[in-house]
Chain A
Amino acid sequence: MSALSPARRRAGSSSSGIRRGEAAAGWLFTAPVLIILGVFLLVPVLMALWVSFSDWTGRGSPFSSNVGFVGLDNYAAVTTGGGLAERDFGTALRNNAWYVLLVVPLQTALSLFLAVLVNRAILRGRGFFRTAFYFPSVTSSVAITVLWLFLFSSSGAINEVLSWLGVNGPNWFSDPSGVVHNLLGAVGVTSGPAFLTGNTLLGVSWWDWLAGPSVAMSAFILMAVFTTSGTFMLLFIAGLQNIGGDVQEAAMMDGANGWQRFWRVTLPQLKPVLFTVLTLGLIGTWQVFDQIYTGTQGGPGKTTLTPAYLSYSAAFLSQQWGQGAAIAFVLFVIIVALTILQRFVLRDRPVSRRRLRQYEVPAAASGSGADRPRAKKGAQR
C-alpha cells in the first residue's frame, strides 16, 4: 500500500528528465498481464454471472436475443427447487463439507508434525526425508488418482495390508456407505431418529447429512492428505526457521518441558504460517475436481459428487448452463465466507485472562518470564 504514495508523488515529474516515458513503459509492460487476466478472468466472471441469471442452453451466444433473463430461478432450482437439482447440490455440499472437515485438520496437523520432525538441526538425512514427503505434491493429481484407484482397488495394496491385520477391506471406490453410519451400525444403530430422518436440508435428510464421508470419499480424503502435506510441511519449516532460538531457550530456562514449549511457545509464533496453511487448505479443499473427474465421476451413489464437479457436469454434460454457473457462484461465496470467518476466528486479540493466568503461574518466581512470549510476538511485527 505504501507503493501508492511515492508513485503519486513522482508521477508529476515523470513527464520530464531522465525518467521520461516511464509511465508509458509501465503500462506497456503490464499490458499483456492485464489484457490476458482481463479477457480470461474478469470478463468471463461477468459473462458467467449473466449466464447464471439466464436460460441459455449452450447453443449460440449467451447474449443473443432469444436468451431470456430468468432472475434467481437457477439459484432457486439448486437451493430450494425441491427437485433433483437441489438434492444433487445438497449431496455435493454434504460430501465436500465432510471432505473439508477431515482433510483440513489432518493435513495441517500432519504437515506441522512432519515439519517439526524434519526441522531438527542434528537430524541426519534431513534432505532425503523432506524430498520423500514433498515428492507427492509435485506430481499431477491425475497420475496420483490413477495410482490411488489401483492401491485402493478391491485386490489392491491397501486391502492386502489390511488382510495381514485380519481386516477384510472394503471395495473402496464402489462403496457408497457413510463412515459415520457404518460406525453407528457397528454398535447396532442402523436407522436414525425420526426428527433426523424426517427433516431435510437442501433435499438431503439430516440423517444423511450426518452419514459422514462415504468409504469412497475416505480414500480421496487420504489422498488429499498424502499429496498436500508435503507442500504445507515446507511452509511450516520456513516458519520454524524464522523463529529465533532465544524464546525457546528462555522457556527452557523457566523449566517448560518439550510439550509445553511446543504448545505455549512454538505454536503461537507459528500463527501467521498456520493461518496461511489453513486458508490455502480451506480454499483448496472446496475445489475438488481433478480427482473426481479422473476417478469416480461422482459415484458411487453420488457420494463423491462435489460442487465443483457438479457445476462442471451440470453445464457441460447436462447442458444446464444457468444452474452450473449458479453452483459455481454459490461455491465462490462459500469459499470467500469461510476464509473471512477463519480470519475472524484466528485474528490477533489481547491474551485472555484465563490464558494469561497460565503464563503467570510458573513465572511467579522469575518475574519477567510472563510477558516474554508476547514480547517476542510484538517484535516480529
Chain B
Amino acid sequence: MTATASPQTTVLAEQRLDRPTRPAKHRLSRRALGWQIGLYALLIVLALIYIYPFLVQVATSFKTDAAAAADPISLAPQPFTWAAYERLFLNSDFPVWFGNSVVVTVFVTAGRVFFNSLAGYALARLQFRGRGIVFAGLIAVMAVPTVVLLIPKFLVINQLGIYDSYAGMILPLLVDAAGVFIMKNFFESIPPSVEEQARIDGAGTFRIFWSVVLPMARPALITIVILSFQGSWNELSHFVISTQSPELTTLTKGVASLASGQLSQGSQFPLKLAAAAIMTIPVAVVFFIFQRRIMNASEGAVKE
C-alpha cells in the first residue's frame, strides 16, 4: 500500500522541479483540488449504487407487503413489522434449509482444508514419479466449466446410489483444484530447511506435514477456509441436481424456490428479501472479519 505512495509523490516533486513556473503551479493546484472533489463525489455516488440495494433489502424485510410496493426506496419501514421473520422461522422450512447449509458448509470446508493441503504439499515437496502428470491433470480439470458438469455429475451420483443424500451433496464438493494450487504455491514458499531438521530427527512424511509444515501454512489455510465457506454456502446448481427431498433442501435451493413463488401468494417481497438477507449474513460476517485477507487472497491469485 505504502509502496505505491512513494513513486507517485516523487513524480510530483520532479515535475515541479522540471517546470517551476509559478502561475502554472498555482493553476495546477486549484485544478487538482477540483479534480479531487469530483473524484470523491464520483466515488461516493458509485459506492451508494453498490451499497444501497443491500440497505433497501434489509429495510424492506421489515415492511409490510403493501409498504414494500408503495415505497420501495425508503430505508424506514412504515409500519415496522417482524412478520416476515416470524413467518420464516416459525411457519416454514427455513430453519431446515439453514441447518442443511451449515452441515454441508462445515463438512466441505473441513474436507477441502485437509485434502487440498495434503495434495498441495505432495505437489510442492514430495518427489514422485507422475507428479508432473498429476499437476497437468489438475490444470485441465480447472478448465472444465462447472455448468457443463450438471448432467454428468447427476449421472455418477445416481449410479453410485448417493442421489438425494448428504453424501451426494458433500462428497463431490470435498476437494477443488484451485485450492490445491493455492496450497501448493504456499508450501513452495516455505524454506525446505525447516523440514530437513525434522527429517533428520526421524519424523515421517505425514508427521512433518502435520506438525511442522501445516502450522506454518495458516495464512493459506485461512484463505482456503474462506473460499470453501463462500463457495459451498453459495452453491446452488450442485444441490439442484443432487437432491430432491424437502429435508435436504439448502438455503440457496430453498430461497430460489421462494423466489419462484412457493410458500407465497402474490409477490410477498418482504418475506423473500428477509430470507435472502439472513442467507447473506454469515457470508457478510466472514467477509468483514477477514476482509483484508479476502482482498489479498484474490490479489495473490494473479501474482502467482
Could you list which residues of chain A lie within 8 angstroms of chain B, going by C-beta atoms? 1, 3-4, 6-8, 10-11, 14, 18-19, 21-27, 29-30, 32-34, 36-37, 39-45, 47-48, 51, 61-62, 114, 117-123, 127-136, 138-147, 149-151, 153, 155-157, 160-161, 226, 230-231, 234-235, 237-239, 241-242, 244-246, 248-249, 252-253, 273, 276, 283, 286-287, 289-290, 293-295, 297, 308, 311-312, 315-316, 321, 324-325, 328-329, 331-332, 335-336
Contact = CB atoms under 8 A, between A and B. Distances in A.
Contacts of A48: 151-152, 155
Nearest to B272: A146
Contacts of A118: 43
Nearest to B226: A138
Nearest to B5: A121
Contact of A287 (B8, B57, B131, B146): B146
Nearest to A276: B302
Contact of B150 (A149, A230, A276, A312): A312
Contact of A11 (B118, B127, B240, B279): B127
Contacts of A246: 7
Contact of B240 (A287, A293, A336): A293
Interface in B39-80: 39, 42-43, 46-47, 50-51, 53-54, 56-57, 60, 68-70, 72-73
A44 B155 contact: yes
Contact of A139 (B10, B280, B295): B280
A125 to B, nearest CB: 8
Given A8-B129, A160-B72, A32 B199 contact: no
B91 interface: no
A287 B43 CA distance: 31
A7 B132 contact: yes
B7 A249 contact: yes
A94 B284 CA distance: 36
B145 A283 contact: yes
Nearest to B150: A312
Given A24-B128, A32-B119, A295-B259, 18 more contacts: A22-B126, A26-B126, A32-B174, A32-B175, A33-B115, A33-B177, A44-B152, A138-B287, A143-B255, A143-B280, A150-B56, A150-B273, A156-B72, A287-B145, A294-B236, A315-B151, A324-B151, A331-B147
Contact of A252 (B11, B269, B276, B294): B11
A269 to B, nearest CB: 14
Contacts of B299: 234-235, 237-238, 241
A321 B154 CA distance: 11
B269 to A, nearest CB: 5
Nearest to A142: B252
Given A34-B134, A45-B152, A329-B148, A129 B73 contact: no
B252 A47 contact: no
B94 interface: no
A56 B238 CA distance: 22
B100 interface: no
Contacts of A23: 126-129
Contacts of B121: 29
B207 to A, nearest CB: 11
B126 A142 contact: no
B224 interface: no
A44 B172 CA distance: 11
Contacts of B4: 119, 121, 241, 245
A160 B73 contact: yes
Nearest to B160: A39
Overall SS of chain A's interface: helix
A315 B284 CA distance: 35
A251 B207 CA distance: 55
A130 B128 contact: no
A45 B149 contact: yes
Given A39-B156, A234-B298, A237-B299, A248 B234 contact: no
18 contacts: A19-B127, A22-B126, A25-B126, A29-B119, A32-B118, A44-B152, A44-B156, A121-B4, A132-B50, A134-B294, A142-B259, A143-B277, A147-B53, A149-B259, A245-B4, A295-B259, A311-B147, A328-B150
Contacts of A139: 234, 280, 283-284
B291 interface: yes
A139 B258 CA distance: 18
Contacts of A160: 72-73
A25 B131 CA distance: 12
B205 interface: yes
B14 interface: yes
A226 B138 CA distance: 31
B159 A61 contact: yes
A176 B280 CA distance: 30
Cβ-closest 3 pairs across A and B: A245-B7, A44-B152, A26-B128
Interface string B82-123: 000000000000000000000000000000000110110111
